[in-house]
A = this chain, B = another copy of it.
Amino acid sequence: MSQHHSQRRLRLGMVGGGQGAFIGGVHRIAARLDDHYELVAGAFASDPERSRASAAALHVADERAYPDYRSMAEAERDRDDGIDVVAIVTPNHLHFEVARTFLEAGIDVICDKPMTTDLGEARELQRLVESSGRFFGLTHNYSGYSLIRQARDMVAAGELGELRVVQVEYPQDWLATRVEAEGVKQAEWRTDPKRSGPAGCLGDIGTHAYHLVRFVTGLEVESLAADLHTFVDGRALDDNVHLMLRFKGGARGMLWSSQVAPGNENGLKLRVYGSEGGLEWRQEEPNELLFTPQGEPPRRLTRHGPGLGEAAMAAVRIPPGHPEGYLEAFAQLYSDFAAHLRARRGGPEVATHQRDIPGVDDGVDGVRFITRSLESSRADGAWVTF
């Protein structure tokens, strides 16, 4: 449960997230929700005027509304009350340059996913994080859900036995027609290779599904076969992804992500089966985790309900039956990041349950997943070593 905390709020800067953006607003709510941050600076848009207007609306002082991220990194680096951390919420193609710029300025980074559009850049960022010693948090926000933490702990504790089968899916329907040609801004950049990189649905949501599998099961992919497809005429990137996975140690998996499946809003769903039991979780009803010990009746574990472990209980704010959702899970990541950022600034040690958060290694792993999937798909769905 959210704790009282007497340390000062962390000073947050933001790159991207101006008016009309979606994910920037989410990051801001997430940062605010548990009261660990205050937003004090930003380069919110590529157009300086729009950046200043956004700053004003967001209670950011005019002098810290920057026309571009480079001047922001420089200025904030030099201030005594400069930002503690920057949140990067631009389209994908800018993640790399912005992250590098701030890391090189000695500023900690929180970055949206996918980390980069290219495996080379991902690795370079990884090296830079290592060499700089800076903090790098990656917002694979679904790993912030309390019951996902519970699932992870149950797998780690062996409650499912030896893992055998993983089924993950992430269907949506908002790109079932060519809305990118009808002025839907979110659709425009997400279907544009220049801004999204070479992967469409795969990079946008397939990576979330992949990360969730990795986070919960700890399994490593050995090889995969991918069948990517674009169903909507005139679209440049994939909008439906079929994948078969073979994991090290022998488990098998399937991954489906789609943006053209009518009736699905944000249907991320994970099922994990082992020799001793099974787990099932759906993002659209995230306050419930179904657990079946083999040969026993399924049990409905609920957020903050009976039978949960420490990590799950630490990632909630309110009693069972009072649903928490997407923003709370996102906020959980921000709170976990805050624990790390504070520990680096002399605060208390990071609690166990906040230790394993998505970082630059997960970023590389996710970009590798995209890269290998594209390779397989280009080879007509052939199996590719991971």
Q: Which A residues are within 8 Å of any B CB, using their own CB?
A: 2, 4-6, 8-9, 19, 22, 25-26, 28-29, 32-35, 54, 56-59, 164-165, 167, 169, 172-174, 176-177, 225, 227, 229, 231, 240, 242, 244, 246, 250, 252-254, 256, 258, 260-267, 271, 273-278, 280, 283-287, 290-302, 305-307, 317-328, 380-383
**Contact assessment for B242 and A172 in the assembled complex, using a CB-CB cutoff below 8 Å:** no
Instruction: List the 6 shortest-distance A-B pairs measured between CB atoms, nearest first.
Output: A265-B321, A266-B321, A263-B292, A323-B325, A4-B57, A262-B278
Interface residue from B9, B266, B276, B294 paired with A59 (Cβ < 8 Å): B9
B318 touching A322, Cβ below 8 Å: no
- Chain A residues touching B, majority SS: loop
Whether A324 and B321, one on each chain, are in contact in the complex, defined by CB atoms closer than 8 angstroms, is no
A327's partner among B244, B290, B317, B382 (CB-CB below 8 A) is B317
Q: If the complex has contacts A6-B56, A240-B252, A273-B260, are A266 and B322 also in contact, measured as CB distance less than 8 A?
A: yes
* Chain B residue at minimum C-beta to C-beta distance from A57: B4
* A324/B322 contact (C-beta < 8 A), A298-B263, A298-B299 known: no
Can you name the residue of chain B whose Cβ is closest to the Cβ of A4? Answer: B57
How many whole Å from A27's CB to the nearest CB in chain B?
Answer: 12
Known: A306-B297, A325-B322. A263 touches B278 (CB 8 A): yes
26 CB < 8 A contacts A-B? A4-B58, A26-B318, A32-B32, A32-B33, A33-B327, A165-B231, A165-B261, A167-B256, A173-B278, A173-B294, A225-B225, A227-B252, A258-B273, A261-B271, A262-B273, A262-B276, A262-B293, A262-B295, A263-B273, A263-B291, A265-B321, A285-B285, A285-B323, A286-B323, A296-B306, A299-B300
User: A324 contacts which chain B residues (CB < 8 A)?
Assistant: 325-327
Chain B residue numbers with a CB within 8 Å of A319 are: 22, 174, 265-266
Q: Which of B35, B167, B263, B284 contacts A280 (CB 8 A)?
A: B263
Inter-chain CA distance A303–B58, complex, in Å, is 26
A328 to B325, CA, bound (A): 9
Whether B261 pairs with A278 at a CB distance below 8 angstroms is: yes
The answer, among B2, B33, B284, B380, for a CB contact under 8 Å with A33, is B33
Contact between B294 and A262 (Cβ–Cβ < 8 Å)?
Answer: yes
> Which chain B residues lie closer than 8 Å to A320 at the CB level?
265-266
**Most chain B beta-carbon neighbours within 10 Å: one of A231, A242, A263, A290:** A263
Complex Cα gap A164–B286 (Å): 28
A107 to B2, CA, bound (A): 30
Q: How far is the CA of A29 from the CA of B30 in the complex (A)?
A: 11
A359–B343 Cα distance when bound, in Å, is: 44
Closest to A265 in B: B321
Q: Residues of B contacting A174 with CB < 8 Å?
A: 319
Please state if A229 and B252 are interface contacts (CB–CB under 8 Å): yes
List, in ascending order, chain B residues with CB within 8 A of A321's CB: 172, 264-267, 283-284
Distance between Cα atoms of A318 and B33 in the complex (Å): 15
Query: Which B residues lie within 8 Å of A29 (CB)?
Result: 2, 33-34, 317
